Amino acid sequence: MRVPKRLLFVQPITTSPAFPNFQKTVLGKVPIGALKGIFTNISPSLDLVPVWGTKTSHRSTWDLMKSGDVVLFVRNNIIEYSSIVVDRAESALMGGSYTLWADSNYSLLIALDEVREFRLPIPQLNAMTGNSSKRVFRALSALSEEGSDRALDQLSGDLGEPLTFSPPIQFNEDAMKAALKKLEDNESSKATVVIRKEQDLLKGVLFQGRSLVECALCGREFAPGPFLWCCHIKPRAKCDALEKVNPSVVTPMCKLGCDDLYEAGFVFVDQCGIIQMNPNAAWTSSLEDYYQSNLVGRACSSFSPLNASFFEWHELNIE
């Protein structure tokens, strides 16, 4: 049987909305929850997946893609990123309640891995593949098998082998479970005692005995205590048993405004980790002053793949 060769694809992202879309869902990645039931070949243990999409007018090119192929993203005739195809799927769902791209329906989706910064002018790629040096890529394009072969031969050291997803970073689940089990065993069924001890455990992990800790939203430092709390990103009452003892479910927030604005849904953290204002909240001038002075344009300092899904829950559930 003939083994299909790895192909090389070129995707221009020079103009808007292509580049902001690329920043959002390839560099920023997509929470796995939004991709439920769409891809079959991605690891369910992942939190975030880089995803690209194209329109049905590019179906014949998209149809050629298979796991292990390489997609090069090009801006202004220079390749800036390389990536490996993991899976592709057609879906009108577009991430369910999570909006992948607001501008159009790119229903031919591609799950990627190994997105890497990479710099190579297109004329150099053309020289490698034996194409005319004048070839420009205006839309998603596939190189021929021979051209892909030649280029991959010369680029393989830089692109790496086709890779599967690296395992996600795990919190010490066993230690937390053991501590919780001990709690259940030792304590009476008094819920308040369990909650308090659980909170103590989470606090211990979060603050680690530090005397000064930064508020994840405004960035100001406080001593853990009355002014800085160990706050649930997703409310404890909405968490399942495992989420309740996941140290990533909490983050430090100050009681001088950030925690209350977050909890009341006036602000949320988007899937790029940026603090955003909820335009539907009942803002008054003093609250807006606080936002403008302390939060506008800031990134949440604790945002990571480990807590992105908790922030997403909050974003999707505020009014």
**Measured from the CB atom, is 10 or 275 closer to Zn ion?**
275
Nearest by Cα to 268 from 215, 227, 310, 222? 310
**Smallest separation, CB 253 to Zn ion (Å):** 6
Whose Cβ is closer to Zn ion: residue 180's or residue 258's? Answer: 258
- The nearer residue to Zn ion, 198 or 260, going by C-beta atoms, is 260
CB of 239 to Zn ion, least distance (A): 23
- Give 73 or 310: the residue with its C-beta nearer to Zn ion: 310
Residue that has been written with the tokens 């996600």 in this structure = 168
Name which of 110 and 253 has its Cβ closer to Zn ion.
Answer: 253
User: Which residues lie near Zn ion (CB under 5 A)?
Assistant: 215, 217-218, 254, 258
In whole angstroms, the minimum distance from the beta carbon of 165 to Zn ion comes to 34
Q: Across the strands, what pairs with 79?
A: 74, 120
At 72, is the secondary structure helix, strand, or coil? Answer: strand
Our CB check for Zn ion shows the closer of 96 and 219 to be: 219
Whether the upstream peptide bond of residue 162 has omega within 30° of 0, thus cis, is no
To Zn ion, the closest distance from the beta carbon of 220 in angstroms equals: 6
Beta-strand pair 70-75/8-12: parallel
Q: How far is the CB of 294 from Zn ion (least distance, A)?
A: 6
Concatenated DSSP letters of 48-67:
EE-EEEE-GGGHHHHTT--T
CA separation for the pair 71, 74 (Å, rounded): 10
| DSSP state letters, 76-126 | TTEEEEEEEEEEEEE-SSTTTTS-S-SSS---EEEEEEEEEEEEEEHHHHH
CB of 238 to Zn ion, least distance (A): 23
